[in-house]
Structure 1
Amino acid sequence: MTSVLDGPVITADMARELALSQKVCIRPLLRRVHDRATDTEDVVALPCGSTREAVCPPCAHKARILRMQQCTEGWHRTDEPEYRPTRQLDEDQVDEDQPDNEDRRVRSTRRRQDAPDLPRVPQEDRTVGRVFATADGREYRPSMFLTLTMPSYGAVTSAGVPADPAHYNYRRQALDALHFARLVDRFWQNLRRAAGYKVQYFGAVEPQRRLVPHLHAAVRGAIPRATIRQVVAATYLQLWWPSFDRPVYVHRVPVWDGESYVDADTGEVLPTWDQALDRLAADPAAKPAHVMRFGRQVDMAGTIAPSEDADRAVRYLTKYLTKAVADTHTEPDSEPEPVVEAHVDRLHAELRYLPCSERCANWLRYGVQPDQAGPGLTPGRCPSKAHDREHLGLGGRRVLVSRQWSGKRLAEHKADRSTVVREALLAAGIVAPETERLAAAVTLADGSPRFVWTDTRPDARTYARVLLASIAERHKWRDQYEAAKAAAPVDKRSATTPPPDPG
């Protein structure tokens, strides 16, 4: 289907390819806006905001650039960021200062006998790294780039697939992937105790070629390598959950009777989550359902900013954030090898029925009602994306950021980028369009909303027209911004970033 615009015939596919080349969102959310003051209507394109390159490369690129800015601003700080304690955290932040809420029942808190003790040192109330001085009087404040990996689950080939799939431990790999973030949180808690200060970090969870999760992290401050290795060896995670070694229901499933899940044949009520945990706590011979640790491979590198090494580390840290876990090592526009597809399928099959949390529907398969159970739960159909083939167990955050990393939320970093652009334009005498110019908060004289937004289902003609209009507007902003930078140079690091999409 074609769209006749001002000039030659432009198809929707042509407009899409042009938008890709100009880094304009190719999957905009189109909304119809009625201006009640002028009684006119227009179709407005809102960026989709996807973080996946396979979905929308321009939006994914902008998301990665924003993460790079967030990482850079917090890594080598010389002053303490403003701390604003709140129980309402950003989607990309974890309250790692609080212990995990696995289970509050009485249980021995003694460390496992097969785990070394953690070093204990006096604690300092700081988050920035120490300053070191050289013999000639120069001062520097180093930080670190850290990589943590998981252990082996069996020999793998150069392609990252098991050399002997029949003896490869897919179950343990799947469980470790499902609970990897919990182990990482425990590591940071332990490292703070051993380092003697409030270690701050920006971490990215990525899969290795064998599709096993590992962590890359920018760490503020320098910590002795021996200390880090000791903390890695001493860090473990125990899941004190009911046993899920053998499924109770395979060819049939429990049913909801209006109050609880019951056996469809006998009518017996399945134990609730609390009842199952009470039984576990009362059993003196009980063992954790799963224990996980990091592997022996630990990479540590010191870095000083500003430097090319620090910039390169930031780019590497955010390299795979725009890719789905299953597609991380697949080249664009290429089909994965059959052996790799088979490896992904086998791992996905294992993940489908393993419980991902206390509320996972898969607990019904093992004869236990999930925590806060309700109607509509079916084993193998848990809504958590951790079970999806695209995520392969990593259904939570791919970016883990400590709360005092930069002193800002991600939305505030995004606002900073817009402010830099607007100030540059204003210094050159150019007034940028107001971002709220079509907002519902804009009212008429009687106080009623001036703009009324409604959903619309655009055809190919409208899609192409709106996409080309967005490209033209981006060109206009880019030309104005480049002229403004030439007339009044601004901060080099921020000014070179692309301006935000208008409106």
Structure 2
Amino acid sequence: MTDRLDAGQSHASEDDEQPPGRGTSFDEVAVETAKRFGVCIRPMVLERTDTTTGAISHVPVPCGNTMEAVCPACARKAKALRLAQCREGWHLDHEPEIPRARATFDQTGLMYYRADLMVTLTEAESEGWTQDAEELRAEIVWVDKQLAALGMRGKAPAPQDITDAGIEVGPDPDTDADPDHDADSDSVSDRDTGRARSTRRCPDVPELPRNPIQNRTIGREYAGKFKPSMMITLTLDSYGRVDRDDGTPIDPDSYDYERAAWDAIWFARLFSRWIQNLRRVVGWNVQYFASVEPQRRGAPHAHIAIRGDIPHRIIRQVTQATYHQVWWPHPNEMVYHGARAPLWDREAKTFVDPDTRIPLQSWDAAMDSTWDYENPAHLVRFGTQVHSKGILGGTEEANRHIGYLCKYLTKSVSEVLEAKTPRQHAHYDRLHQALCRTPCSERCAVWLLYGIVPKGAKSRMQPGRCKARAHRRETLGLPGNRVLTSELWTGKTLGDHQADRMEFVRATLAAAGIDKPTPDPHRYTWSKLAPGTRIPSRAHLLMAAIAQRIAWRNEYDRAMLAAEPPPGPERSTATQYS
């Protein structure tokens, strides 16, 4: 016992020397211990109700943050799930199947009841029976809650949305919608106002063959056993010459920050169009796992794992022919700067000029006044640098590329693009300023700086201050989802992959005689705590989680030792005399 204490003291004196001054607090020690044992350091307490016994308890759950700087344990778990998802789907040798849930008898009965309520509601509103209509709406809301409780996904249309739109509940219309209509090429407002978009391709873009897409996701097989897949890297166009060492522009004044900001905001839409064109050219349902990362110059680029083999010539041809057009008002120059900003007029219910009190231009009026049939507000396309490589499954090269795809998933953009020189600081700051004056959507508050009232503008909207991720310094315009995956990559969600990992652990424990039954997901209901509810301190929650994690780890280690084969004669002899 004395030797163990002495060893621990000597180890602490060598590695854990504390600087002079105040020591660490109890909470700080608890947080560091939680990090050491892989426990979430930001647990959130929820109220759990047992539907069988009615017992109510307060249970801490992990925060689920994917950034290592915020919670290392949750970030590592999220990264492990992405690694498993990428590895399982990249060289899949069979078509994945997505189990589709079928409507139950109770769900169809409630839907039949809701249809009758809608017919009665339409009749009550046409006759002017206000009180009956209100009661019917309340009943429809109750039915929607019951359907959601029974497991129905999605949001049911509100009764007022259907009646306000003038949709008749009755026989089918005589004409059906065109199933081949491209929703991205036209919008309802554009059709109503008579604004048409040019459907001609850009003159410098080659024509792509358009083949019917077959219902398969597996690529070709070579020599009867080899099914290679691909690793592709796509980058955006150049905005000016940059230094190869630190990524900063050689001439910052000539660097096109405005186009860089627009391209970064629309990168995800451009990637979606690239996948669509690729599927039409090759003629089968290409599946992908892509990670979006920033280059040193601050522009996003994508590393894409493609299941199946596609000729490099087609990859380059599709990349060269892919572009995305933004059909918005043309923001020529900012009208308002600094403290001079539009004001909200309560009577007019819109934003007005701070000096003249004249209402600003509405969104539809701005679209009509700046609409150009041939020229969109912005055109984004990929650059000329395209890297594609075929990779066989189960090789060391495949494992290395899987690790590279998920390398920066736990790092924020500001951590990946750590500015170390004054030139880098100035470059990233100028890019962020360009993003702050670039609209990100039709409802972006940045439109007010250009004298245009965005869609859905309210009194709480602050001109030039949009809360979207595109305008944040820590994201620099990168899309919210750093990982982009197709639906049939594995046929599973992240929750399904997590359930597979938990089932593997349960099977390993069961083989060693440790029974961990699968909990019934319908037995408990979860809800947030009411304001003022007293809960244990953070340190106590962490200590309880650490003790639980140690117990789980000991059980798993015993199960792994029990699963190992018994030692042979040579190993027994070596163990005896060691």
- Would the TM-score normalized by the shorter structure come out above 0.5? yes
Please state how far the C-alpha of 1:140 moved relative to its aligned partner.
1.2
- Whether the 8 Å CA contact 2:448–2:464 is kept in 1: the answer is no
Contact 1:355 1:362 in 2 (8 A): yes
CA deviation map 1:355-392 (0-9, x unaligned): 00111111111121112222222222101121010111
Q: Higher relative contact order by CA 8 Å / sep ≥ 6: 1 or 2?
A: 1
Shift of 1:239: 0.9
Which residue of 2 is the match for residue 112 of structure 1?
A: 202
Which of 253, 260, 274 lines up with 1:173 in the alignment? 260
Aligned to 1:297: 385
SS at match of 2:82: helix
DSSP-derived class of the 2:325 partner? strand
Does 1:487 pair with 2:562? yes
Q: Contact (CA 8 Å) 1:47, 1:59: kept in 2 or not? A: yes
Q: Among residues 489, 496, 500, which one is paired with 1:412 in the alignment?
A: 496
2:213 equivalent in structure 1 = 123
CA apart distance, 1:240: 1.2
2:31 to 16, 32, 37: 16
Would you tell me which structure has more helix in proportion to its own residues?
A: 2
**TM-score, length-scaled by structure 1:** 0.82
Q: Please, which of 235, 245, 252 is the counterpart of residue 149 of structure 1?
A: 235
Whether 1:81 and 2:100 are equivalent positions in the alignment is no
AA at the equivalent of 1:391:
T
Counterpart contact for 2:298–2:417, Cα < 8 Å: no
**1:83-482 maps to which residues of 2 (within 5 A)?**
83=98, 99-100=183-184, 103=187, 105=190, 106-133=196-223, 138-157=224-243, 158-251=245-338, 252-258=340-346, 259-281=349-371, 283-284=372-373, 287-330=375-418, 336-432=420-516, 440-441=524-525, 462-482=537-557
Q: Secondary structure at the match of 1:295?
A: strand
8 Å Cα contact 2:290-2:305 kept in structure 1: yes
Offset of 1:65 from its aligned partner? 0.8
The separation in 1 between residues aligned to 2:375 and 2:242, in whole angstroms, is 30
Could you tell me whether the CA contact under 8 Å between 1:44 and 1:466 is conserved in 2? no
Quote how far apart the aligned CAs of 1:266 are: 2.8
Q: Under a length normalisation based on structure 2, what TM-score does the superposition of the two structures give?
A: 0.72
Q: Deviation at 1:407?
A: 0.8
Cα distance between partner residues in 1 of 2:69 and 2:299: 21
> Structure 1 240/479 Cα, relative in aligned 2: closer, same or farther at 3 Å?
same
Residues 4-40 of structure 1, C-alpha deviations (whole Å, 9 max, x = no match): xxxxx97221121122122211222245879999999
Query: 1: CA distance between counterparts of 2:544 and 2:517?
Result: 15
How far residue 166 of structure 1 moved from its aligned partner, in angstroms, is: 1.9
Query: Residues of 2 paired with 1:37 and 1:119: CA distance?
Result: 60
Decide whether aligned partners of structure 1 residues 438 and 78 sit closer, same or farther in structure 2, where only a CA change above 3 A counts. closer
* Offset from partner CA, 1:31-86 (integer Å, 9 cap, x none): 58799999999864321111111111111111111111111222111221124689
What's the CA shift string for 1:292-342, capped at 9, x where partnerless? Answer: 111111111111111211111111001111111122143xxxx73333222
Letter in 1 for 2:360: L
How many Å separate the matches in 2 of 1:362 and 1:453?
A: 36
Higher mean C-alpha displacement, 353-362 vs 261-270: 261-270
Q: Distance in 2 between matches of 1:118 and 1:412?
A: 37
Which piece of structure 1 moves more, 291-300 or 465-474? 465-474
Aligned partner of 1:92 in structure 2 is none
- Structure 2: which amino acid aligns with 1:47? P
Q: 1:231 to 1:99 in 2, by over 3 A?
A: farther
Q: Distance in 1 between matches of 2:225 and 2:385?
A: 32
- Going from structure 1 to structure 2, the CA distance change for 1:433 and 1:84 (only over 3 Å counts) comes to closer
Deviations 1:103-139 (A, max 9, x none): 4532221111121111334532211112121xxxx51
Alpha-carbon distance between aligned partners in 2 of 1:231 and 1:387, rounded to the nearest angstrom? 30
* Identical columns (%): 47
CA distance in 2 between counterparts of 1:145 and 1:88 reads 35
Q: Tell me the alpha carbon deviations over residues 194-245 of structure 1, each in whole angstroms, 9 at most, x when there is no partner.
A: 1111111011110011111000111011000000000000001111110112
CA RMSD of aligned residues (A): 3.2
Change (3 A) 1:253 1:85: farther
Asked whether the 8 Å contact 1:33–1:453 carries over to 2, the reply is no
Distance in 2 of aligned mates of 1:34 and 1:59:
25
